[in-house]
């Protein structure tokens, strides 16, 4: 029996592939558990700098496995959320590489990622209202932060699918590529990010994610608490030295 999630690491990039193509990569508890463990590895290993989440067989994820739901199974991990991701994304950057359908919980996985590369043929949506459910794994709270308010409300209330081109035009997608090239482009983007200082990347992500709720009177002090260590790190000296010596830096995450 094949694994429901495939894990591969190379050049500091951890690639997580949902591997249930016969079921449009619908999420199960077993797959969610494996994804959560992979994300723990991403954050826990200094030689891993960034992750990519994708799906096998030309589909990202069609949402919760409804057969499992009817058996009483919910593909969520306590403290981690749907797919082991939506409630607690990793500290390190995570890119969604989307082909085909990213629907319901599958779309909510995308919304929990930091960057999105999608095929021109990809389709997004939170159709939970069509099934008497609610997009409670992040769709209802993250969509209004990542799309214009009325567009987010339209998607939530109609449950209709949203084409990749329209999502790109609203800024939901970073890169739009021909069908079959989402993973390749995500890997290219990941290599660029992985070549940068790991302390700098982690601190930059944290400030951008957390600063959305900071009052203006506190933003500079809060930013300093998350970035001061970057300027005094060995990596900061290495970055300056490498620039002066016209060579690639050798990061130590220190």
Which positions are catalytic? Answer: 108, 128
Distance CA 184, CA 80 (A): 28
């Amino acid at each position: 029996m094949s694994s429901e999630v495939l894990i591969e690491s190379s050049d500091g990039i951890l690639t997580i592939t949902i591997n249930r193509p016969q079921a449009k990569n619908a999420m199960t508890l077993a797959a969610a558990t494996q994804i959560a463990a992979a994300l723990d590895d991403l954050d826990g290993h200094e030689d891993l700098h960034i992750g990519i989440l994708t799906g096998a067989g030309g589909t990202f994820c069609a949402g919760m496995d409804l057969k499992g739901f009817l058996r009483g199974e919910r593909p969520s991990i306590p403290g981690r959320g749907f797919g082991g991701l939506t409630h607690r994304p990793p500290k390190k950057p995570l890119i969604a590489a989307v082909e085909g359908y990213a629907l319901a919980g599958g779309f909510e996985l995308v919304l929990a990622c930091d960057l999105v590369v999608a095929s021109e043929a990809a389709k997004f949506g939170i159709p939970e209202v069509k099934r008497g459910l609610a997009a409670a794994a992040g769709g209802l709270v993250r969509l209004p932060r990542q799309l214009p308010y009325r567009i987010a409300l339209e998607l939530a209330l109609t449950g209709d699918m949203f084409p990749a081109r329209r999502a790109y035009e609203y800024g939901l997608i970073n890169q739009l590529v021909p069908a079959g090239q989402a993973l390749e482009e995500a890997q290219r983007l990941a290599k660029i990010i992985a070549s940068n200082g790991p302390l700098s990347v982690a601190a930059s992500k944290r400030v951008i994610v957390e600063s959305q709720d900071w009052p203006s009177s506190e933003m500079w002090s809060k930013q300093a608490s998350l970035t001061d260590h970057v300027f005094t790190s060995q990596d900061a000296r290495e970055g300056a030295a490498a620039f002066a010596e016209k060579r690639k830096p050798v990061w130590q995450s220190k």
